[in-house]
Chains A and B, each alone.
Chain A
Amino acid sequence: DSGVTQTPKHLITATGQRVTLRCSPRSGDLSVYWYQQSLDQGLQFLIHYYNGEERAKGNILERFSAQQFPDLHSELNLSSLELGDSALYFCASSVVSGTGEKLFFGSGTQLSVL
């Protein structure tokens, strides 16, 4: 158990809908990262937050947004969902924000868009 909690584990929704994925980092970790794992794109970095502030953006669509709250949990919001958004979404956390930090990954949220 990595200590990173992601909810829900599975999410089935329809095209055009909006969903929110939640991540609770390990106790004491200030950094939260979101990654998307899909069959065609593999594991792609989406966004990184450190202590409530956005630090880096990767290949994140404009339809997607994220935030980190004062209690350090994070939410990834996906809107106007398309079939291609179906993927496993991982959250990871680390103590600090530095290149090369060891990341602790949650079990992921499997999103299926029908």
Chain B
Amino acid sequence: AQKVTQAQTEISVVEKEDVTLDCVYETRDTTYYLFWYKQPPSGELVFLIRRNSFDEQNEISGRYSWNFQKSTSSFNFTITASQVVDSAVYFCALSGDVWSNFGNEKLTFGTGTRLTIIP
């Protein structure tokens, strides 16, 4: 069975500080995708990134960066120079086997980390 653990329930940092959100996953699949989604106070879920298990190269997008380490089954998310608009709940998610037949497209989500940026 798949499992995603986001041990940090809530984090508060002062604006402009860097913050890292942790994500640890469990899967028996040898190939899979990992995701981060953002849920702002308005409630919708916003896609941030998708990373497949073949590629352990870290990724940077503006103030956002992601550190994927297969050896520790972690996919951590760092926000640099945080801003008030970054306040949201962030979800890490895991997909099924990349090469599976149809029917395995569901995402397994972690419980989310509520990030509050203090002005």
Question: A51-78 toward B: CB 8 Å interface, digit per residue (1/0)?
Answer: 0000110100000000000000000000
Give how many B residues have a beta carbon under 8 Å from the other chain's beta carbons.
31
Chain B residues with Cβ below 8 Å from A99 are 32-33, 95-100, 104-105
Is B45's beta carbon under 8 Å from chain A? yes
From A19-27, A79-87, A100-108, the one touching the partner chain is: A100-108
Q: Known A104-B47, A108-B43; judge A56-B103 contact (CB<8 A).
A: yes
Q: Is the CB of A97 within 8 A of B105?
A: yes
Chain A residues with Cβ below 8 Å from B106 are 33, 45, 48, 56, 58
Q: How far is the CA of A102 from the CA of B52 in the complex (A)?
A: 12
Q: Is the CB of A107 within 8 A of B105?
A: no
* Chain B at the A interface: SS class: loop
> Shortest Cβ distance from B110 into chain A, in angstroms?
8
Q: How far is the CA of A110 from the CA of B44 in the complex (A)?
A: 11
Chain B residues with Cβ below 8 Å from A56 are 102-106
Q: Is the CB of B47 within 8 A of A97?
A: no
Q: Known A55-B103, A58-B106, A100-B33; judge A107-B44 contact (CB<8 A).
A: yes
Q: Is the CB of A103 within 8 A of B47?
A: yes
Chain B residues with Cβ below 8 Å from A102 are 35, 47, 50
Chain B residues with Cβ below 8 Å from A44 are 109
Q: List 14 A-B contacts (CB under 8 A).
A: A42-B109, A43-B93, A48-B103, A48-B106, A55-B103, A56-B106, A90-B45, A99-B98, A99-B100, A100-B33, A102-B50, A103-B107, A105-B46, A107-B43
Chain B residues with Cβ below 8 Å from A108 are 43-44
Query: Sorted from nearest, which 10 A-B pairs have the closest CB atoms?
Result: A100-B33, A105-B45, A45-B106, A43-B109, A56-B103, A107-B44, A100-B95, A42-B111, A99-B95, A99-B96
Chain B residues with Cβ below 8 Å from A105 are 37, 44-47
Q: How far is the CA of A101 from the CA of B47 in the complex (A)?
A: 11
Chain B residues with Cβ below 8 Å from A2 are 44, 46
Q: How far is the CA of A43 from the CA of B46 in the complex (A)?
A: 14
Q: How far is the CA of A71 from the CA of B112 in the complex (A)?
A: 34
Q: Is the CB of A88 within 8 A of B97?
A: no
A55, A92, A110: the one contacting B102 at CB < 8 Å is A55
